[in-house]
Amino acid sequence: MKAAKIVMDPFASSAIKEFVQNGVDNHNIAVTGHAPYYPVGFYVMDGDGSVLGGLMGQIWARWLHVGTLWVDERVRGRGHASRLMAAAERYAIEKACTDSFLETFSFQARPFYEKLGYRVFGTLENYPEGHSYYYLTKHLDASKTKRAREK
């Protein structure tokens, strides 16, 4: 085996990225015993099939991680983001999740998430300069979701 070296490649192939991610995932599963993983993807589409927004994330270890939530400015304020969040939380509860977490910047949607019951548990100040980056979490209550569906 030749000597190992560090190689900079911000555009590495999918195979390289997948190999590294699988290494982390396999370690996490071995240590925790939590193997089930579910990608999460809900989208707002218009009648022509054009994407107007979406929510992407993942479920692992009974937690939902909302990685991305975005709605096109042309259709904001119509409840799409709230419905996307509700759909993701329902799906997470169906997959036995007990909690959810996400991150947002001070210039993004912190008040929106707080209205949905998320609370800040950490802050990275001055990222980017003059702003903050917030970490939020929420306990998912299966009984509330069930009652909402029954209405």
Q: pLDDT at position 60, please?
A: 97
What is the model's pLDDT at position 14?
97
pLDDT along the chain (151 residues), means of 10: 94 97 96 96 96 98 98 96 98 98 98 98 98 98 67 55
41: amino acid identity, one letter = G
Please tell me the predicted confidence (pLDDT) of residue 1.
Answer: 83
Structural domains of the chain, ranges and CATH numbers in brackets: 35-150 (3.40.630.30)
Q: Does this model's pTM top 0.85?
A: yes
The pLDDT value recorded for residue 22 is 95
